[in-house]
């Protein structure tokens, strides 16, 4: 009886040892050694992250050019519809004036159209910044073929045109804004074409 009991104990010991060994072996295969730190009496794993180098994609000059381009693009988005409207109105006015010979009739017609335009555009145009106003004058030149000085002189007379030009000068602007789509305004022309597609205008 004692022999059988001893045999059973040995057998159990072998089985338990074998199970324990297998468990330890499995655990060693599933374990990754890491650094650890003690925080509030608790040991937690810790790892040092790889160094990350941040490189700026743009130089100061590039950032400045991008900011300038964005400002111009925003101004064109705001003012281009007004320039298109101005071009359409001028074409319509000129078409009517060809049939009006009498000077007083021409004056009365221009005044009526001026009143109509003031009603539609005084509020929105008065909210434009000086920079947006300059862009608008360039776009009017693009759409009509005439700068703002020439337009005012044609419809309101030379004295009025010179007066407005003086006022524009004191605000750092110029009614005689040119537009050269192949030269200094090439970038503006590209943005205008983009804006035109967005609004559904024909080039």
Tens-place pLDDT, residues 96-107: 888 888 888 888
- Per-residue pLDDT for 138 more than 90? yes
pLDDT in tens, 37-60: 777 788 877 777 777 776 667 778
Quote the pTM value: 0.66
Q: Stretch 151-180: mean pLDDT, rounded?
A: 80
Q: What are the structure tokens assigned to 17, written together?
A: 């040892």
> Which tens digits make up the pLDDT trace of 2-39?
444 444 544 444 444 444 444 444 444 556 676 777 77
Q: Quick one: pLDDT band at residue 203, thresholds 50, 70, 90?
A: low
pLDDT, the chain, mean: 79
Between 138 and 27, the higher pLDDT residue? 138
Res 22: pLDDT: 44
pLDDT at res. 93:
87
Query: 4-13, 57-66, 109-118, 132-141: lowest mean pLDDT where?
Result: 4-13
């Amino acid at each position: 009886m004692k022999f059988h009991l001893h045999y059973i104990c040995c057998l159990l010991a072998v089985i338990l040892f074998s199970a324990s060994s297998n468990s330890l072996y499995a655990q060693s295969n599933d374990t990754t050694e890491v650094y650890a730190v003690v925080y509030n009496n608790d040991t937690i794993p810790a790892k040092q992250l790889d160094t990350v180098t941040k490189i700026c994609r743009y130089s100061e000059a590039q950032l400045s050019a991008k900011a300038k381009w964005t400002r111009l693009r925003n101004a064109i988005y705001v003012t281009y519809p007004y320039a298109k409207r101005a071009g359409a109105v001028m074409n319509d006015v000129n078409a009517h004036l060809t049939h009006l010979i009498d000077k007083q009739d021409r004056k009365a017609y221009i005044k009526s159209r001026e009143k109509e335009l003031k009603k539609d555009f005084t509020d929105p145009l008065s909210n434009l910044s000086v920079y947006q106003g300059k862009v608008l004058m360039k776009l009017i030149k693009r759409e009509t073929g005439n700068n703002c000085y020439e337009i005012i002189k044609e419809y309101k007379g030379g004295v009025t045109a010179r007066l407005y030009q003086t006022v524009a000068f004191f605000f750092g602007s110029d009614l005689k804004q040119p537009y050269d789509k192949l030269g200094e305004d090439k970038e503006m022309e590209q943005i205008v074409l983009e804006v035109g597609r967005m609004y559904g205008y024909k080039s």
